[in-house]
Structure 1
């Protein structure tokens, strides 16, 4: 009976967050993007984004990979922070001090405005990096974790400075997440 009461208490506890508010600034985009985190389909990934945002780890992190008609990627809290030691050649190669996450694939499609977790070829390698879809990318369905959806500010996302070449590497001054806060 004690286990049942504990389980009900845990289920009734409020989630860590319902979303993120991201202030973006740079040569392309300037404004606020609001993301609804989907704790029901990707609880581990939503918790990671929440933790990193509360820690301030996402503040001043650049959009390092931006592909026209596809997505804008950010979240490298190890090599992507725009500070005195910043070197764009390393942005996108890092994660966080936390361990990689186990994939939480779902049937939620990669539509415009969906937020997905970046990873290497290994399905259980997502850590801190995420991407926002400019358009649908159904070839990602079931292969990448969907962690959220943009509910406000897609006009800002659409203005993020595009990268070049097939990998969408951003040259010159990139846009960045100036401040990322958690919404309850």
Structure 2
């Protein structure tokens, strides 16, 4: 049984730098067995002043190629440009727009996971996620996306420190329904761009993955995507032409 689970969990770990994501499970009875790679191997709103510190100046934003928050007619748009040259703090929000499904609104907790949130915001503001997909979907567990290769082996080219307790970082966010967290390989500091949204409580992931926020609106969309998914294997891999597309991830504050 253990060898079978390992075969499933390592199915997408093609290279040392591969992002494998979280362990997979379709039934609550299986969650303790189908834990992370490490478990199997080792043990089987901030105030306004804070916001001002994190928001880039208009000049800096324009130099970086971002909108100053106003269109040519002077109408205010919702996008916010945050200064990711330093670690963010406080609570921020983002809209994940999924083609043919709608928007999933998420709250990002930079007080709990500043490195992770800063990385996510930076990639979103750069447009990195635009056009990428959710390539791994397991109904009753989670959906994972943000891989430019669309198969679990890609990333942004940079990795970040894993902000979770088994890696020496306090993180009290539990992997319950609606939590957004970072995927990674067996290396605790290998998270890059791939993230997953928890559909059903998966607290066995606590302490081993960097949860950094939660869905505030749109879990019905998550449920619909997971229900419609037709994975080709036990790992949840979805065929490229059936993967839900992320049109954009917009930071709203």
- TM bin (shorter chain): 0.7 to 0.9
Residue from 72, 85, 93 that aligns with 2:153: 93
Higher share of residues assigned helix: 2
Q: How many Å apart are 1:74 and its aligned residue?
A: 0.3
* TM-score using structure 2 length: 0.60
User: What residue ranges of structure 2 are gaps of 5+ in the alignment?
Assistant: 1-48, 56-81, 83-90, 165-170
Task: Answer 1 or 2: which has greater strand percent.
Answer: 1
Structure 1: tracts of 5 or more residues without a match: 1-8, 81-90
Q: Which residue of 1 is the match for residue 197 of structure 2?
A: 132
Q: What is the RMSD computed on CA atoms of the aligned residues? A: 1.8
**Aligned pair 1:107/2:172, yes or no?**
yes
Q: Which has the higher contact order (CA 8 A, sep 6+)?
A: 1
Cα distance in 2 for partners of 1:35, 1:167 equals 25
- TM norm structure 1: 0.81
Question: Matched residues in 2 for 1:39 and 1:58: separation?
Answer: 19
C-alpha distance in 2, partners of 1:12/1:55?
20
- What is the distance in 1 between the residues matched to 2:196 and 2:54? 26
The corresponding residue for 2:251 is 182
SS of alignment partner, residue 13 of structure 1: helix
Deviation at 1:12, TM superposition (A): 6.7
Q: Which has the larger Rg?
A: 2
Equivalent positions of 1:42-61 (< 5 A) are 42-61=113-132
22, 28, 33: which one pairs with 2:96?
Answer: 22
Contact 2:182 2:195 in 1 (8 A): yes
**Contact preservation (8 Å) 2:96, 2:250:** yes
Distance, in Å, in 2 between the alignment partners of 1:12 and 1:181 is 19
Number of residue-to-residue matches in the alignment: 161
